[in-house]
Chains A and B, each alone.
Chain A
Amino acid sequence: NAGVTQTPKFRILKIGQSMTLQCAQDMNHNYMYWYRQDPGMGLKLIYYSVGAGITDKGEVPNGYNVSRSTTEDFPLRLELAAPSQTSVYFCASSQTGTDYEQYFGPGTRLTVT
């Protein structure tokens, strides 16, 4: 099993550009998450999904959009990139319910200049 995969690993965007961060998992997990991690900080939840076709906002959703058309994929769209979106982005997935751990991808390091 590959677990949770993310592409790309690194990306530099100019202000105002858009891009999609890809995330896929092969563990048949219903729950998927997008986090951002700023330097020296913990994780902030951007969006999450409890199953295909269902998404909800987390703590910091502004400037981002998501979709969940399949169980496996959960892409994150950045529209009109801003320097404040410079961060490391992590995708995670988990089984449904409490007590289950979240499995994390390796992250995408995004710089907006």
Chain B
Amino acid sequence: GDSVTQMEGPVTLSEEAFLTINCTYTATGYPSLFWYVQYPGEGLQLLLKATKADDKGSNKGFEATYRKETTSFHLEKGSVQVSDSAVYFCAPQTRSNYQLIWGAGTKLIIKP
């Protein structure tokens, strides 16, 4: 069945470090791909998305590229800030019924 795998957290980095959170998925066809972020005590909000192969989504300094050949959508940021501390979810969207496939998320902790 459809699934998503993210690197396990927590990921702990110092401020201004480079961030990569890996995401690979298994889904029928070519799903749209989303990264959502959940700040402490809040609901989820869209961080970025990509809808076809080789598309790059970007927002708030974060980027992710839709890699069809490796079924991956890794999240990157060049220089993280304490305010980036949150849980990050990679979520493919199936084209058959538009459902999002959720993994456990990756908790990111940025130390000053």
- Chain A interface (Cβ within 8 Å of chain B)? 4, 31, 35, 40-45, 48, 58, 90, 92, 94, 96-102, 104-107
Contact = CB atoms under 8 A, between A and B. Distances in A.
16 contacts: A31-B98, A35-B102, A41-B105, A42-B103, A43-B100, A44-B102, A45-B99, A58-B99, A90-B43, A98-B98, A99-B51, A102-B46, A102-B100, A104-B43, A104-B45, A107-B43
Interface of B: 32, 34, 42-46, 49, 51, 89, 93, 95, 98-100, 102-105
A41 B42 CA distance: 15
A98 B32 contact: yes
Given A42-B105, A45-B99, A99 B49 contact: yes
Given A31-B98, A43-B44, 12 more contacts: A35-B102, A41-B104, A42-B102, A43-B102, A48-B99, A96-B98, A98-B51, A102-B46, A104-B44, A106-B42, A106-B43, A107-B43
A105 B43 CA distance: 6
Contacts of A97: 98
B32 A90 contact: no
